[in-house]
Every structure is written in C-alpha cells, then in structure tokens.
Amino acid sequence: MNIHIIGAGSLGLLYAGKLAASGCRVTLWCRSEEQADKLRASGITIEDMGQHQVVDAHTFSICSWSSFSESGGAADADYLFLMMKQQGIEEMATEMLALFGQDHRRLLCFQNGTGHLERLQGLLPMWTIYAAITTEGAKRTSSVSVLHAGQGTTTIGKMKPAGSPFDAFSQEDHEIELVKQLNRAGFEAFLSNEMEEMIYRKLLMNAVINPLTALWRIPNGELLSSPERVRLMRQLYNEGIAVYDAGGIPYGSGLWEWIVSVCQSTSGNTSSMLKDVMDGRTTEVAWINGSIVRLGQKYGVSVPTHELITQLIEGMNT
C-alpha cells in the first residue's frame, strides 16, 4: 500500500516511521525544505518504552510542500493522511489540495475539532473524505524524532459524498487493507460506523482538558488535583452536554468518566494546546472550544465558560 502523509509533526513522524518500518510505501510531506533535508540525512527516530528505533531515510520518501504540485498532487497514493492541525488546513487545502479537487483521492483527516471535514468536502468534491480519530500519544522531540508517549487506537470512518453523515454500510476492500496495514505497523486500527459520536466525544474531551492545562501550565493529571480545578472542568463539560442535548448530537454514555480517565492515563502528558502556548504558536482553541460556542449559538444554548476560555486562550496566541 502506498500512503502519503502530509505534515511532519508528532503524529506525522510517528505514523510515517512505523508504517515505513513495517514495509509500507510511505511519502512524508514536510512544510519546510530544512526539515526535509534533515530527515533525508538521518531518517526518523522513534522513542518507545525507553527504546530508540531509527527508521532509515532510504525506506521512505521525503518531500517538501513546495513540490506537491510538481509531483501531480500525490496521484500515486492509495491514501493521503492529513496530519496537521486545524490552523494549517486552510493554507494546505486552498493552495495545494484544491488544485487537484477534480481528481480523485482518498483523504484521512486526523484533526481535532469540527468543521474541517465539511470544508474539505466543499473544496475537494471528487475526493473520498474520511475522519480519523486517534488516541495515540506522540510528542515531537526534534524535527526528526518523536516520543511515542502512549499506545492508543485509530478509528476511521468514511463521509458520504453529499454531506456530513457517515457511510454506515459498505466497507470496501481497500479500506479493510488500510486497517490491516496500520495494524501490521503496530497501531490498533478499526473501521467504524459511529464516527459522529466519536468526533463529538473527543471534541468535548479536548474542550475540557486542553485549554485549562494551557491556562494553568500544568500536565493533564494535575487538573484533578484540586476541587476548584475539577469544578471548572465540570462547568465546561455541563455546558457542552447542554449543547449536545439541544442539538440531538450523539455522545454515548460515561463521557465524564472517560474524560477523567484520560486525565489519569495521560497524567504526565503535556496537552497539544499547552505545547502550542509554550512554543508561541497559534492554538486550536477556535476549532475546539470555539466549536462548542458556535454550536451553542446554533441551538440557542448559552456557554459562557467556553466563550471566556476561548477569549483567554486566543489572547495568548501570537
């Protein structure tokens, strides 16, 4: 199977390295030529459970975004993995992917938040768009190395061409083969017909955990260390649930308990939003808590805590 991975951040390096090491044909697309040169020189180093695995640069292809159009837009790919944050999609989609919007590609989108799947469908009408939800823990430690901070799952679901609902019926042979390839690479991967529920569960989990860790500059587990912190977590959670109930949005059972368990199981982890704040990068708060705010406006539900949190984090963006 031939997989092109767009974005060489923490998840991009992890998936590219493990897939290439398993024998999959991989092309990794980097934003900068500088990172591409470093990867060509040294490959990808994956640290996992104290062990270091070096994936030789000769086992996968490395390109910079500037050559995407010249390459024919990854026309030979069985799948493209879009592994950049929400704030990078607009540039990538409008300047690069949309040039090939009338061709056919299969695109897996690994982003947090909501809205991007529908936006990409509008820009890429002939493409098959998939949502991918992963709980793999990954932390980029340099431009060529990544720490695998925790084993998780990768769940994939296909959107119908007409809009946001997911295809609840057919699973094609190439989709089954993709899941097998991911499992051979060491990922626990699944196809799902319940992606909408999973997307909104993860959205609220991120909306509760990420901004508070970013504001207080603490790892995930310390959110549970005081009643005051847990009280604010519950405020964010309760507002989100009120929006979901008003809009008939599915979220399953035990969501609060799951959020608490994520804090516990990733207790030492630095959230992606805290990492962005520490590195002076724009955060994804507009697509996480901002999504809850927009849904609240749509369904007539007040979400003052999410509104305040969004403003506070956006005030930290540089």
Phi, psi angles (nearest 5°) of residue 110: -105, 20
The DSSP line for 106-166 is EEEE--SSSSHHHHHHHH-TTSEEEEEEE--EEEEEETTEEEEEE--EEEEEEBPTTSSSB
User: What is the rounded CA–CA span in Å between residue 144 and residue 9?
Assistant: 9
Give the contacts of 165 (CB within 8 A, at least 6 positions apart).
Answer: 159, 196
Where residue 162 falls among pLDDT bands split at 50, 70, 90? Answer: low
Q: Two tokens at 252?
A: 């399953």
Check whether 172 has a pLDDT greater than 70: yes
pTM of the model: 0.91
Check whether 51 has a pLDDT greater than 70: yes
Give the contacts of 47 (CB within 8 A, at least 6 positions apart).
Answer: 53, 141, 145, 146, 147, 148
Where residue 105 falls among pLDDT bands split at 50, 70, 90? Answer: very high
Q: What percent of the chain has pLDDT over 90?
A: 75
Common-topology check for domains 2-193 and 197-316: no
Kindly tell me the burial class for residue 96, based on how many C-beta atoms sit within 10 Å of its own C-beta (0-12, 13-18, 19 or more). middle
> What are the extents of the domains in the chain?
2-193, 197-316
Check whether 264 has a pLDDT greater than 80: yes
Q: What percent of the chain has pLDDT over 70?
A: 97
**Model confidence pLDDT, tens digit, residues 81-102:** 999 988 888 777 777 888 887 8
Which architecture does CATH list for 2-193?
A: 3-Layer(aba) Sandwich (3.40)
The DSSP line for 24-40 is -EEEEEES-HHHHHHHH
User: What is the rounded CA–CA span in Å between residue 75 and residue 35?
Assistant: 23
Where residue 164 falls among pLDDT bands split at 50, 70, 90? Answer: very low
Check whether 168 has a pLDDT greater than 70: no
Return the minimum-mean-pLDDT range out of 38-42, 162-166, 259-263, 301-305. 162-166
Where residue 204 falls among pLDDT bands split at 50, 70, 90? Answer: very high
At the fourth CATH level, which superfamily is domain 197-316?
Answer: N-(1-d-carboxylethyl)-l-norvaline Dehydrogenase; domain 2 (1.10.1040.10)
**Model confidence pLDDT, tens digit, residues 277-291:** 999 999 999 999 999
